[in-house]
Amino acid sequence: MAFRLKLVPEKTNIDFFRVQWLTFGLSIFLIVASVVIVGVKGLNFGVDFLGGTTIRTESVNPVDVGAYRDALQPLDIGEVTITEVNDPSFRDDQHVAQVRIGAREGEEAVVPEVITAVEAALKQVDPQIVFAQVESVGPKVSGELIWKAVLAVVAGSVGILIYIWMRFEWQMALGTVAAMLHDVIVTLGIWSLFGLKFDLSIVAALLTILGYSVNDTVVIFDRLRENLAKYKAMPLREMMNLTANETLSRTVMTATTTLISLIALIVFGGDVIRGFVFAMILGVLLGTYSTLYMAKNIVLFLGVDRGDKPKKKATPDEYANIDA
């Protein structure tokens, strides 16, 4: 007999609504807190959105952020941010840093003369330094990217809302979209709280989170629709608990296998994709939680139209005393 790994038992009887006000209240609190944090602190936009130039340096010598900053200060080039990049995949003699130079007001990007001066100043500090990558984005382009990023997330949410509405009931569509927005907004709140860099790769992660979240929710709602036709007299709360328990093994297995891949990427994938992968890990965890504890709660609050029960068939005796 073949061995089968089971993350959860084949049959479970978990009451997902036992503390529904606590779990739903926690979701609302996280959404409100995230909106407040983003509104107060804002997002740490990368060069993609703010405009400017990012220079990636590599050297066999350790990075001395203070020495780099002192060397660039006499240049009077405006806002400069220097960060050392650490990655387990780097060699022992591979030391990487990122030097971000903000574009000045009225300029489309950092002029080539400034980049040349920066490179020359850093060469004075470390003759072994190599400039592996230079990225430049103008403020006009970055402003357009912000709006396009917002429109992409909104368009994705609206498209999913319409699809779920047509595929299932409108109550399920609202529950699905609410769960998706919960995942995206809370992810943005965490990004703002810790000041993590927000660039186009994170926008891509948010759109991917939308797809993952809706996929998880649709599986449960599809089984719920089957159970609505199968158990016509069962109370909606019991039926939704039954549905969640029936699909729990699939939900846990999907989340676990996805997380295994993401953890491998965040450890071995390098710093370039680390932000994207971290956002995806948050999205998987939040998406699983919101599917089980938010989307279903909204459907339960709104109720589902169960008027499709078959009418009672008439027996021959019912028409026996009717005059022709």
Please tell me whether the overall predicted TM-score, pTM, comes out greater than 0.75 for this model: no
What span, in angstroms and rounded, lies between the C-alpha atoms of 154 and 158?
Answer: 6
Q: Which CB contacts under 8 angstroms, 24+ apart, belong to 253-257?
A: 253/7, 254/216, 255/216, 255/284, 255/285, 255/287, 255/288, 256/7
Residue range(s) of every CATH 1.20.1640.10 domain in the chain: 20-44+141-302
pLDDT in 10s for each residue of the chain, 324 residues: 455 666 667 777 888 888 888 888 899 999 999 999 999 998 887 766 777 788 888 988 888 888 888 888 888 777 777 888 877 778 888 888 888 887 666 565 677 788 888 888 888 888 889 888 887 766 555 567 678 878 887 887 788 778 878 877 788 888 888 888 899 899 999 999 998 888 778 888 888 888 888 887 888 888 888 888 888 888 888 888 888 888 888 888 888 999 999 999 888 876 668 888 999 999 999 988 988 888 888 888 888 766 544 444 444 444 344 443
Q: Which CATH superfamily is domain 52-137 in?
A: ACT domain (3.30.70.260)
Q: How many CB atoms lie within 10 A of CB 280?
A: 26
Q: In sequence order, what DSSP letters do the residues of 21-61 get, joined into one string?
A: HHHHHHHHHHHHHHHHHHHHH--EE-HHHH-EEEEEEEESS
Residue range(s) of every CATH 3.30.70.260 domain in the chain: 52-137
pLDDT recorded at residue 146: 72
Task: Write out the CATH class of domain 20-44+141-302.
Answer: mainly alpha
pLDDT recorded at residue 29: 94
